[in-house]
């Protein structure tokens, strides 16, 4: 009887660890789609003097923090190798970390980007991917209490999609989430 009870407790604990299914959220006016476990909190910051229009999405659940940040109005001629490391250093500093190794990444649609490991006290802390498309800079980040090798981190990062959206216009500067 004890063995059966112990087995049931282990199975119940394992079932509780299974995260919910990811749901896709499309943001056509921002030119992307991303998948989250729960609806993300959105912060849409209008452009201001010396500041671009930005969108920040964040969803925290089950010990994971998933973030998508988008900045409009990237200067023509800027490359991912110019903007990616600089913006990732800013993100790492805000997390109390440092930028570790860089990798080459690609979305399923073939948009090339860069990946960065954020370290804190010399240990992996978060993973960030950066892409440049549609005159926008996209930064996708994930952090997990289970570490940067958590399969949920990879699933979130791999689910990010650049969509075929026209460049933004001043008349159409609203967040459009599903």
Summarize pLDDT for 109-153 with one digit per residue, the tens. 889 999 999 999 889 999 999 999 988 999 999 999 999 999 999
| Entry field: residues in the chain | 178
Q: What is the pLDDT of residue 75?
A: 84
* CA distance readout (Å), 79 to 49, 76, 127, 128, 161: 23, 9, 21, 17, 19
- The number of angstroms, rounded, from the C-alpha of 156 to the middle of its chain's C-alpha atoms is 7
Contact indicator for 176, 43 with CB cutoff of 8 Å: no
Q: Are 31 and 163 within 8 A, CB to CB?
A: yes
Model confidence at 63: pLDDT above 80 = yes
Q: Please report the domains of the chain, with CATH numbers, ordered by start residue.
A: 19-162 (3.40.1000.10)
- What pLDDT is attached to residue 164? 67
- pLDDT of residue 16 exceeding 70: no
Burial of 29 (0-12, 13-18, 19+ CB in 10 A): middle
**116: exposed, middle or buried (C-beta count within 10 Å: 0-12, 13-18, 19+)?**
buried
pLDDT of residue 172: 43
Confidence of residue 3 (pLDDT cuts 50, 70, 90): low
Radius of gyration, alpha carbons of the chain: 18
- For 8, other C-beta atoms within 10 Å of its C-beta total 10
Q: What is the pTM of this model?
A: 0.80
């Amino acid at each position: 009887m004890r063995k059966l009870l112990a087995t049931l407790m282990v199975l119940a604990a394992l079932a509780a660890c299974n995260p919910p299914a990811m749901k896709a959220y499309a943001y056509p006016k921002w030119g992307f789609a991303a998948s989250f476990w729960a609806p993300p909190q959105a912060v849409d910051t209008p452009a201001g003097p010396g500041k671009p229009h930005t969108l920040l999405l964040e969803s925290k659940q089950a010990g994971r923090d998933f973030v998508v940040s988008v900045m409009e109005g990237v200067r023509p001629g800027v490359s991912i190798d110019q903007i990616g490391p600089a913006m990732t250093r800013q993100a790492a500093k805000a997390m109390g970390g440092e930028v570790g190794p860089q990798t080459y990444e690609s979305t399923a649609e073939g948009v090339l980007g860069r990946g960065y490991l954020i370290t804190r006290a010399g240990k992996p802390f978060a993973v960030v991917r950066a892409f440049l498309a549609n005159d926008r800079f996209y930064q996708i980040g994930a952090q997990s209490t289970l570490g940067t090798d958590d399969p949920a981190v990879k699933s979130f990062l791999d689910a990010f999609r650049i969509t075929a959206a026209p460049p933004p216009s001043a008349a159409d500067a609203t967040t459009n989430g599903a």
